[in-house]
Structure 1
Amino acid sequence: MIALTESEIRASFVNCSQGEAKRLRVPLGLADTAWDTLDFLGWRDPGAPAAAYVVTQWRGTLTGLVMRLSTDRRATGRQNMCALCHTVHSTTDVALMVAPRPGAAGRAGNTVGTYLCTDLACSLYARHLKRPDRVQPVETLTTEKRIERVQANLDTFVRRVVEAS
């Protein structure tokens, strides 16, 4: 991932108004971010627990998505898997995140959802730079292949949100 500025991040959002993009909280410490370990910039807003954001290079364009977390996350002891990085977590560490489609479709309530790590640290899990609390299934993929999987799955999610069905 390339290093991003606050203004680049705000300008990248495709599924919210410019006013909403100006008001959202960007992550602190952008200058200290280890950009070379990220496939996308993902963060949660501590002041709005249901808000989540992803910014990525998608098909040559910086693309940001505003998402909402599902409020129905019961701690049942079950396990769930992130759709991007395939990391297994407890049900409280994976959540359904829903992104409205851009434009009129999103204003009409059309959304696309997927299950993601609630900390949005998929890039770090794929590189084994962060370890989840749960024991993971044995996987034979190399680190490069895990990174490619995150990138391909993210590309699919962004495409499903941005492109008309």
Structure 2
Amino acid sequence: MEPLTEKQIRASFVNCSKGEASRMKLPADFGRLPWDDLDFLGWRDPGAPLRAHLVLPPGAVPGPGGDAGPVGIALRVPEANRTSALKTSLCQICLTGHASSGVALLAAPRAGAAGREGNTVGIYVCADLACPLYLRGKRQPAGQRPRYEESLTLAERVARAGANLAAFATTVLSSR
């Protein structure tokens, strides 16, 4: 992913107001992000732990508006609840298996009028939103064995994760 400026990131959000986008806190390590290893930018808001954000690179979302620039999606994180350490959950973006506390159901208000009416879309995703780092083996799930072996190349796994994320973003942008 090409590095983005703070202004580009704040202007990219499609499902929150400009005021909400201007108040969100960027990742604490924003100046040191490993852009070369990122296929999208995802972070939990350090000032509001029940909020998370995803920013997809330009061209990642097919259709009108997706080719113009990055697409940002504001997400809500449910309050923490007890989960079993014996269960394994799978991220719907990168397909990394985690102890169940390593995957969270994040809800995104739909863009436009549907979102203002309270309609949301959910996705189970790595709780730390570090899917690109899990794909590349630069981060390992806590308390788990290393990532499951796959016959796909890294490029194929990255493409699959990008398609999964684009499908979610398309759903957020759709009016139904």
In 1, Cα distance between equivalents of 2:20 and 2:153: 40
The more displaced of 132-141 and 117-126 is 132-141
Separation (CA, whole Å) in 1 of partners of 2:138 and 2:14? 30
Deviation at 1:72, TM superposition (A): 5.5
1:88-135 CA distance string (max 9 Å, x none):
001111000000011211111100101000110001111112111212
Task: Show structure 1 runs of 5+ residues with no match.
Answer: none
C-alpha distance after superposition, 1:27-84 (max 9, x if no partner): 1333322211101000001222211000012332211000011225422121100000
TM-score between the two structures when normalised by the length of structure 1? 0.94
The corresponding residue for 2:40 is 40
Alignment partners' CA distance in 2, 1:36 and 1:9: 17
Name the count of aligned residue pairs. 165
> 2: distance between equivalents of 1:37 and 1:163?
29
SS at match of 1:28: coil
Q: CA deviation at 1:164?
A: 2.0
Q: Give the counterpart letter for 2:124 in structure 1.
A: Y
- Return the alpha-carbon distance in structure 1 between the equivalents of residues 12 and 155 of structure 2: 27
Q: 2:63 maps to which residue?
A: none
Return the alpha-carbon distance in structure 2 between the equivalents of residues 48 and 27 of structure 1.
12
More deviation in 23-32 or 79-88?
23-32
1:157: which partner in 2? 168
- Over aligned residues, Cα RMSD in angstroms? 1.3
1:74 pairs with 65, 78, 82, which one?
82
Query: Deviating runs (4+, > 6 A) in structure 1?
Result: none
Partner Cα separation in structure 2 for residue 27 and residue 95 of structure 1: 19
Distance 1:99 1:31 in 2: 26
Cα distance in 2 for partners of 1:32, 1:157 equals: 27
Percent of pairs identical after alignment? 47
Contact 1:80 1:89 survives alignment (8 Å) = yes
Which structure's residues are more often strand, by fraction? Answer: 1
Check conservation: 1:44, 1:51, Cα contact below 8 A: yes
TM normalised by structure 2 equals 0.88
2-side partners of 1:14 and 1:84: how far apart?
20
